[in-house]
Amino acid sequence: MFKTIANAWKIPDIRQKILFTLLMLLIYRIGAFIPVPGTNIDFIQQQVANYDVLEFMNLFSGGALGNMTIFALGIVPYINASIIMNLLTVAIPKLERMAKEGDDGRKKIASITRYLGVILGLVQAIGILFGLGSQAVQNPDNPFDYVTIIVCLTAGTALIMWIGERITEKGIGNGISLLIFISIISGVPGMLRSIGQAVEAGTTSFWSVVIVAGLAFIIILGITFVDLGERRIPVQYAKRVVGRKMYGGQSTHIPMKVNQSGVMPLIFAITILMLPGMIGQFWPESGFYIWYQQYAGPGTALYVIIYALLILFFSYFYSQIAFNPIDVSKNLQQNGGFIPGIRPGKPTSDYLAKILSRITLFGALFLAIVAAVPTFFTYVTGVTSVFGATSLLIMVSVALETTKQLEAQMMMRHYKGFLN
């Protein structure tokens, strides 16, 4: 990876893209330290530390929510909007046709996603502000302060979306993924400081930290292995004679990734699991919330089991969206392709669905195992880890994706042997 970056730096236009990406990321981090006027930051920091939902949102905002800055909502509203649009594209035929129209259709869907992201940001800003209560505002008797805070948070969400899209368009890598990556990485120094304080205070032994660090390294290797793993289905195209020329006849393959759905099952599962706690926090003295904290909250056995089952379910659900065996079978048949030993049409789609089900099971079980790592880490060290399942997967996936894009752009310039 570092060699690829060093080689890319030697090419002027790629170096310009890298500098533009770093500039946008710097603006994003600066915005994470500009406070929203009229907020009680000390009270908000206490609430973020006490509630798991707010702490999870604070992680994806790079600590901006705890300081109530203009980027406090982070990129979460845009992610939620993207998830909703992905689901609606499958459910609504008009959106599905729009997605298949090419660049024009994708631009329309992207525009709808942006507007939906701003709306969700507005709703989320109102919900967080009124959920925290009047103590989160310095002057709770002034309605203008509430309006100012909500407008600043919503505008910050829109600015984050703009920064992410500019990185995707003029920089290197996927802008939204890089923003999440930087937000998660920014929490690493604080986590290391907490671990050091725990070891110094004697609440955590040094060797337990070493063991967990080794385990985290093994998990990162496993994530890299699974992320790059794929099953290649051989495909043969029939020969066609047109006039005096022969077309087709070449052999290729269909790459089926082991982890087709990426981090989407984890995001879906976490969102659902956070809902009961989010609702219960409005009535902290209720019997339901007390039962939830004792038996079904984060860190409990029931929570981990439900988390794993939801990951399994959403892995199969989202793999059907990412890879549709019926569409692939139709495209093969229309272009004269076939899988050796498998008849075209329904037998091909059934064969692909069978393979997809098997590799999805392996990928889902791997995600479920990785999801249990934060609970184990907290149990051993007593320190909440920033390297949750979603965090690790996002960091590794973004790093691999960015490296691949750099290599692809260098290969396009025909630098012979440049990557060797």
Could you tell me how far CA 365 lies from the centroid of its own chain? 18
Among 390, 215, 387, smallest CA distance to 311 is for 390
For domain 1-187, the question of CATH label 3.40.50.1100 is answered with: no
pLDDT digits (tens, 9 = 90+) for 296-350: 776 677 877 888 888 888 888 878 777 888 888 888 888 778 888 888 888 888 8
| Stated pTM of the model | 0.76
64 CB neighbour count, 10 Å cutoff? 29
pLDDT tens for the chain, residues 1 to 420: 667 677 777 777 888 888 999 999 999 999 888 888 888 888 888 888 776 667 767 777 777 888 888 988 888 888 878 878 877 887 788 887 887 777 788 788 888 888 998 998 898 888 788 777 788 888 888 888 889 989 999 999 999 999 988 998 888 878 888 888 888 888 777 777 877 887 787 777 777 778 777 777 887 888 888 878 888 888 887 766 666 666 556 778 888 888 777 777 877 777 677 777 666 666 667 777 778 777 777 667 787 788 888 888 888 887 877 788 888 888 888 877 888 888 888 888 888 888 888 888 888 888 888 776 666 665 555 555 545 666 777 778 788 778 877 877 777 665 444 444
Residues of the chain with CATH 1.10.3370.10: 1-187, 194-385
CB 161 within 8 A of CB 122: no
- Rounded Cα gap, residues 419 and 3, in angstroms: 8
CB 85 within 8 A of CB 112: yes
- Rounded Cα gap, residues 202 and 34, in angstroms: 36
Domain 194-385: CATH superfamily is SecY subunit domain (1.10.3370.10)
